Structure 1
Amino acid sequence: MASTNPKEIVAELPTYIRVFSDGTVERPRESPFVPPSINDPLTGVSSKDIVISQTPSVSARIYLPKLIPTNDQDHPQNFPILVYFHGGGFFFESAFSQLYHRYFNTFVSQTNVIVVSVEYRRAPEHPLPACYHDCWDALKWVASHSTQNNATNEDPWLISHGNLQRVFIGGDSAGGNIVHNVAMRAGTEPLPCDVKIVGAIFSHPYFCSSNPIGSEVVKGGHEQSLAYLVWGFVYPSAPGGIDNPMVNPLAPAAPSLDGLGCSKILVCVASDDKLRDRGVWYCEGVRKSGWHGELELFEEKGEDHVYHIFHPESENAMKLTQRLRLFLQ
């Protein structure tokens, strides 16, 4: 009699992700994917999906603000460019998900910037550091438009309306962690056409270490906290484990934060967020490192993790968007 092998869970972060013995993965909390839209009926923002690289597979959804009709063909409207890395613990959510699509339609209409929302490879199918390489490659692809002779898959929106003198990077949660790692790489490795990162936005960034701080000190032990468990799940082979410099930028072996390759930084935190204290910790670490640039901490009281992504039309989300608009413009 032939034996049957029932599908078993071989790894999981309860309620977030399950990995099965046959290799399939379930992400119960992920919002559904939605298509891009030209001239969104509510905001007038247009979006489209583009392929940056086939091997590895890296793509993005680009958002273009509503253009004002003009007769001046010699001076098209130009906008700052925000290269964005979505959150989701490195393992769920997407640049194509309903959650981020709704957020960026609202955000772009309020800020008048072009957003390149990067679809990077996710764990566990692609463990870290894959996503860091993908996001760096996406930034390089954007920078390569500065010469306007990028023979490979150049994008007309970036050519016609992108201001390559005003390139920013940003991300929330795990995406905020990616921002740090991309900015550190930009401090040692030049971008194409000598493009510089003007500023970096860290929204509720994810960091951790073996020594718990502030609100991380909980019953049951730090090793059982979600932040600790996520790192082991997405980067099981990380040298140094939870004190790897990619997740603990203040670890003894970590390079100095004075090497961050951007001119200004905005760290955003929320008072009720479990990652709040790490955001403040990171901001203080940058300040003490001797990094030469403008550094600002923005805190919203009475809000939880990535409230602005979940409720982009709320009063506090609009307040944060206006703060980001000032930073980007």
Structure 2
Amino acid sequence: MNSTEKEVKVDLPGFIRVYKDGSVERLFGSPQVPPTLEDPQTGVSSKDVNISIDTNLSARLYLPKLITKKLPTLVYFHGGGFCVESAFSFPHQRYMNILASQAGVLIVSVEYRLAPEHPLPTAYEDCWTALNWVASLSDPWLASHGDLEALFIGGDSSGANIAHNLAMRAGTQNLENGVNILGAFISSSHFLDEPGASATGIQMGYRVWNFVYPDAPGGPDSPMINPMCAQAPSLAGLGCSRLLVLVAEKEDHRNTQVRYYEAVKNSGFQGKVELFETKGEGHCFHIFNPDTENAKLMFQRLASFLQK
């Protein structure tokens, strides 16, 4: 081996590579962009805020242009397998601008810490901290324009996993100021309940989970990644009143996501649970191709859900 070549410790092809010297190379990700004052396409303004200086936890807030009343408030968690991507990336900035504009909501998009530098459960704890920060109305935009009687959480892929786990936690732990979560949306969720599946994407999902949470209780059958496993608490305990499960027909985890919806529906959950499936599309299609007709339908469905 050439002396200048570094030895690889972990290689998740096309995703992330960790070297034996501890350095990390992210092979997937999007360019980061700054916040904007009145985005030219949507009129939405955004700004970055520090939630915790000690842990470098931050978020990007999005505020629609036309405000005539207090706004439903969405705390959003980006995807990326818990180890790549950012709330500050171009696709997520574009996505949040569209959603804030069409739904008329104030959005707090959380920049949680990533594995492997910060293995799970760090991301869960960061997002719980951010959710309580929102509930305490710690920012002027939130204090002036946020309606916490219409508090939503949501995410895509690993962010959907985070949203589910925070909703479960909110079922047993109180948020600041006694605030309750009205609704949660779970889109293209990163759940695993098929250990013997042969699909490449599912097998990669297990590799990613073991990489980002090596100490997970239950390992690949942890309730955090498999909410339907025998050890998982009842889904009737979800701490929200409304749940929307969004599925794309052609993604590897499609069947698991439908089983999750059925499991919630049959759990005794006292809220309202809905399933919305987009035919002919793959994982997180609406984030990377937001101008397609199917993406526009997805945004319409999300906008209608994010109303009090």
**Which category describes the TM-score, using the shorter chain as reference length?**
over 0.9
Q: Which residue of 2 aligns with 1:173?
A: 157
Which 5+ residue runs of structure 1 have no aligned equivalent? 69-75, 146-153
1:283 maps to which of 245, 261, 272: 261
Aligned pair count reads 306
> Quick check: 2:199–2:252 contact (8 Å CA) kept in 1?
no
Q: CA deviation at 1:56?
A: 2.1
Residues of 1 paired with 2:218 and 2:4: CA distance? 36
Deviates more, 1:275-284 or 1:167-176: 275-284
Q: Please state if 1:20 is matched with 2:13.
A: no
> Quick check: 1:10–1:20 contact (8 Å CA) kept in 2?
yes
The verdict on how the C-alpha distance between 1:219 and 1:40 changes in structure 2, with shifts beyond 3 A counting, is: closer
Q: CA deviation at 1:21?
A: 2.4
Q: Which residue of 1 aligns with 2:293?
A: 315
Q: Which residue of 1 aligns with 2:8?
A: 9
Q: CA deviation at 1:276?
A: 0.9
Residues of 2 paired with 1:288 and 1:106: CA distance? 34
> Quick check: 1:84–1:116 contact (8 Å CA) kept in 2?
yes
Residue by residue, what CA displacement relative to the aligned partner does 1:23-71 show, whole Å, maximum 9, x if unpaired?
2211122001110000111111000000101222211000000135xxx
The verdict on how the C-alpha distance between 1:192 and 1:276 changes in structure 2, with shifts beyond 3 A counting, is: same
Q: Please state if 1:124 is matched with 2:116.
A: yes
2:82 maps to which of 90, 100, 103: 90
The verdict on how the C-alpha distance between 1:29 and 1:219 changes in structure 2, with shifts beyond 3 A counting, is: closer
Residues of 2 paired with 1:219 and 1:211: CA distance? 10
The aligned runs of 1:107-186 (5 Å cut-off) are 107-145=99-137, 154-186=138-170
Q: Please state if 1:225 is matched with 2:199.
A: no
The aligned runs of 1:201-216 (5 Å cut-off) are 201-209=185-193, 211-212=195-196
Q: Which has the larger radius of gyration?
A: 1
The verdict on how the C-alpha distance between 1:114 and 1:26 changes in structure 2, with shifts beyond 3 A counting, is: same
Residues of 2 paired with 1:105 and 1:209: CA distance? 33
SS at match of 2:240: coil
2:229 maps to which of 248, 251, 255: 251
Q: Which residue of 2 aligns with 1:48?
A: 47
Residues of 2 paired with 1:14 and 1:211: CA distance? 20
SS at match of 2:266: helix
Q: Which residue of 2 aligns with 1:103?
A: 95
User: Following superposition, which runs of at least 4 residues in structure 1 exceed 6 angstroms of deviation?
Assistant: none
Q: Which residue of 1 aligns with 2:216?
A: 238
Q: Which residue of 1 aligns with 2:32?
A: 33
Residues of 1 paired with 2:100 and 2:290: CA distance? 11
Give the fraction of aligned pairs with identical amino acids, expressed as a percent: 56
State the AA in 2 paired with 1:296: E
Q: Please state if 1:327 is matched with 2:305.
A: yes
State the AA in 1 paired with 2:122: A
Q: CA deviation at 1:77?
A: 3.0
SS at match of 1:268: strand
The aligned runs of 1:252-271 (5 Å cut-off) are 252-271=230-249
Residues of 2 paired with 1:283 and 1:182: CA distance? 17
Q: CA deviation at 1:293?
A: 0.6
> Quick check: 1:269–1:300 contact (8 Å CA) kept in 2?
yes
> Quick check: 2:193–2:256 contact (8 Å CA) kept in 1?
no
